[in-house]
Amino acid sequence: MSPRDFHIVWGARSSRAGGVVALALVAALAAAPYYAGSANLNLLTQFFAYLALATLWNLLAGFSGLVSVGQQAWVGLGGYCMFALTMFGGVHPLAAVAIAGVVAAVVAVPVAGLLFRLRGAYFAIGSWVVAEVFRLFSSQMSALGGGSGTSLPTRVITSIATSRQGREFTIYWSSLALVALVMGLTIWLLRSRWGLALRAIHHNEIAASANGVETTRAKLVVYVVAAFGTAMVGGLIFLQKLRISPDAAFSVNDWTAFVIFMTVIGGIGRIEGPIVGAIIFFALRETLSDLGSIYLLMLGAVAIVAMLKAPRGVWGYIVEKTGFEFAPLERRVVYTPAKPATAVLPKGDAQ
């Protein structure tokens, strides 16, 4: 039994099946404009945006222990960057979305430098302060409409596509591509050495540090990646809305509370959690949102009950019962003897 006989693998058959299912699903969704109606496309576009936001929040809170309640800072920054670049820079809207992501990543570095001085829950409130600062700054920018906001000029809107349908298709495909990118990037990051470092930090930061994990750098990487993705999602959200205002762009309810709800209900700390959670959230929203504040009250209550009674969420419960995972992140050691027939084990050494 030599060390060569051991292999480290991710998951098993279910993850390969998961890959196939994911590809088939993306293909089916990519063809949706040809068979789904305009209202459904609109709903799916919003779904993709929320799924991407929830995946990124999950990356921060579920995998890295960076519980942020200020992700609206990056959604709003992305939206405002996209507006400024298209209105004053003449940049193509989709290019502006990508640049907005880069701008957010650059801004996130000094912001992280400040926020990482706060531990745990104080980090959460600190991230909220940052979002408030961004919101107050945005309402000071009179070129972008100040406190009441502004709409995208027709010139910019028609530069996406000349027809209304063409615009809907373009934004739909961009959102699908972005959510695929975000999920792919998250899975890749979590399976990389950074992912291993993050899990170690999440379990015990001091022990991780003692074992040589560069804790601050690992957290910085994940914070910057999350800001990058979140800002691009923000850019696309406001490209679909065509209108931006400080209160809409930096809304804690829309871009953080709902996102936390989805992740917690679906299963925090699992790649599949936000998918399940986003489906549940949209099902509730489509049936109950007419109730207004009662609906929000119910969401809050459901989140509390879920956190106390089922902290691993719906997907966590399913995995617990069935062991089935689409995108496993845990490495497993598998024993596959290289030459099983001729292997000679020294006596007393074998286990």
| Residue ranges in contact with another protein by CB under 8 A | 61, 65, 67, 69, 114, 117-118, 120-122, 124-126, 128-130, 132-133, 136-137, 139-140, 147, 252-253, 257, 260, 264, 268, 293-294, 296-297, 299-301, 303-304, 307-308, 311
Closest C-alpha to 224, from 136, 123, 103, 138 = 103
Q: Which is nearer to another protein, 109 or 121 (CB)?
A: 121
Residue 44 vs 69, nearer CB to another protein? 69
Spatial neighbors of 254 by CB under 8 A, at least 6 apart, are 72, 248
DSSP state of 328: -
The residue among 32 and 118 lying less far from another protein, judged by its C-beta, is 118
CB of 38: closest distance to another protein in angstroms?
31
Judged by beta carbon, residue 115 or residue 236, the one nearer another protein is 115
What is the smallest separation between the CB atom of 301 and another protein, expressed in angstroms?
6
CB of residue 316 to another protein, shortest distance in Å: 13
- Containing 173, the helix (H) or strand (E) segment is helix 164-191
CB of 328 to another protein, least distance (A): 22
| CA–CA dist 25, 247 (Å, integer) | 35
Nearer to another protein, 108 or 130 (CB): 130
Specify whether the CB–CB gap between 115 and 66 falls below 8 A: no
The amino acid at 135: R
Encoded tokens for 237:
């959200």
Distance of CA 197 to the CA centre of its chain: 19
Residue 95 or 294: the one with the smaller Cβ distance to another protein is: 294
- Enumerate the H helices of 58-163 as residue ranges: 63-64, 72-88, 93-115, 120-140, 154-160
Nearer to another protein, 96 or 112 (CB): 112
**Minimum distance of another protein from residue 109's CB (angstroms):** 14
Among 272, 242, 276, residue whose Cα is nearest residue 82: 242
Using the 8-state DSSP alphabet, how is residue 291 labeled? G
Collapsing DSSP to helix, strand or coil, 152 comes out as coil
CA distances to 15, 113, 188, 250 from 328, rounded to whole Å, are: 7, 31, 11, 33
Q: How far is the CB of 300 from another protein (least distance, A)?
A: 4
CB of 264 to another protein, least distance (A): 6
Cβ closest to another protein, residue 65 vs residue 93: 65
Task: Provide the minimum distance between the beta carbon of 140 and another protein in the complex, in angstroms, as a whole number.
Answer: 6
First to last CA, the chain: 9
